Structure 1
Amino acid sequence: MKIEYFNENLDFNEKKIVTKVLLETSFSKEIRILLKQGQMMKEHKAPFPIIVHIIDGRIDFGMQGSVHPLKKGDIITLDANIPHDLTALQDSIVRLTLSKLDTSERVEKVVSDS
């Protein structure tokens, strides 16, 4: 058993989005993404289904030409290979659940390219 805290040690960065793998299980990777207001993850897609959970804040989740406003507590799923983007409307804490087969390095690349 391992316990991690999504709402502690929040080191938001004015210049870049901050990601951290908090948990890795036999079936998933749980990643915390910290976005300052106005920061954006450019359009990208994941090779496996994902779950996005807004722990705090508000984001616009763009997908297939539509924008879905998400707020604290909202959770969505997305199938593999669906282009999407995120824009923080407020400082936001996002929980990203990846398949065990996916890599946190891929997420880091998306962030660095944004």
Structure 2
Amino acid sequence: MPGFLVHVGATVTCSHGGQAQPTVPNPRVMVMGQPTVTIAGPYTVAGCALPPPPSGNGPCVTGQWTVGTVRVTSNGQPLVILSSVGLCAPSGTPLIIAATQTRVTAT
């Protein structure tokens, strides 16, 4: 399914409102003057509101994309797009792409 490419300036959060940032930008493909992100690079999560054990199984610390582009790759890795699927650790809740650029799409 096609979707807009995610870049390092995109707004990505955990399900509990924590801000997620990519740790490995992909400078080989730029959109809107910013590097894109491949699914191989983990995200760090800060500010997650999920309580630690025994009340919950959080807070979210990292995030990893599991599904990305199928037809477009960079350095042999799929890129993250708006419809990508990602999970946070240790909670197992999804990463949410709230906003990204709207000019470049990929499948």
TM bin, normalised by shorter chain, reads under 0.3
Task: Pick the structure with greater CA Rg.
Answer: 2
Structure having the higher strand fraction is 1
TM-score (norm 2): 0.25
TM-score (norm 1): 0.24
Structure having the higher helix fraction is 1
